[in-house]
Amino acid sequence: MMKAFSLDGHAALVTGSSQGLGLAMAQGLREAGARVVFHGLQAERTPEVPADAAYVSADLLDPDAPEQLVARAFEHEPGIDTLICNAGSFFDTAPLEMTRERWDKTFQLNISASFFVAQAFAKRLVTANRPGSIVIVSSTNGFQGEADSVAYDSSKGALVMMTRSLAVSLADHGIRVNGIAPGLIRTPLTSQWLEPRAHDLLVHYEKKILLRRVGRPQDIAGAAVFLSSPAASYITGEIIVIDGGLTVCQIGRL
C-alpha cells in the first residue's frame, strides 16, 4: 500500500526551488523517487541544489519566461508529469503607500507567472494525451488578512481560486490540480521580518500556533509528495492548510 506514495517513474518541475519551501518540496519529491527539474532566479544553481539534478534559471517577471521555463524543463525531462507552482515573493508596503509598480510586480510574479507556467505545462500534457498533477502553493494569507500585506494577501487569495478553477477546467484532461497553503514557515523570505523582532514575535506565534513552533520548510514537503502521488489520485481542487494550527484557534494561548 505504501507504494501508492512512491513517485518512482515520475518527473517534476518545481518553480522557485533554489531555496526555502521550493527547495524542500523538490528534495522531498526526489526522496520519493521523482526526477526533479529545479528552478531559480540565479544564473547558477545554489549549493543546496543537487549536482545531479537538472537546473533551469528564469526570471518569471519576464512575460515570456513561463513558457520558456517549461520548454527548457521538458528538454531536460521529457516525461514531466508533475508541476509544483511555488515561485512567488512579497513586495508590500503600507496600503496607503502602495505603488502601481509594487502591486503589478506582486501579481505578475505570484499570479500571472503561476498561471502561465501551469498553462504551458498543461498544454504539453494534453498534446501528449498524458495525465498529470499540478500543486499550487498559496498561503494562509489567502484566507486571513495581515497588516500591510494587501497585495500579497490578494495574490494568495487569487491562487486559492485559481487552484479550484483550474481543477474544474483540466479534470477532463486527466490533470489534477491541488493547493498547499503554508502558515508561518521559517524561510529566507519570512526571516527578513521575523529575525529583527525575533524574541517578542516568536513568543507571540508560539502561543498562537497550536503545535508551539514556527514551521520548517521540510514540514511542507510531505503534502507536496502526497498530492503528487498515486495516493492522491482521487483528490483535485483541494487546498491543504499546513500551519501547525495557527488559523484554527481564534484567541491562542495567553
Residues with catalytic function: 152
Residue that has been written with the C-alpha cell 500591510 in this structure: 148
Residue 189 zone, left/alpha/beta (φ > 0; ψ -120 to 50; rest): alpha
Contact 207, 253 (CB under 8 A): yes
Which amino acid, residue 100?
Answer: R
**Residue whose C-alpha cell is 503607500:** 97
Residue type, 6: S
Answer left, alpha or beta for residue 99, where phi above 0 means left and psi between -120 and 50 means alpha. beta
CA dist 87 and 94 (Å) reads 23
The CA dihedral of 26, 30, 32, 33, to the nearest 10 degrees, is 140
* Cβ within 8 Å of residue 22, ≥6 positions away: 14, 15, 16, 39, 84, 86, 87, 137
CB-CB contact of 198 with 220 (8 Å): no
Contact partners, residue 123, CB within 8 Å, separation at least 6: none
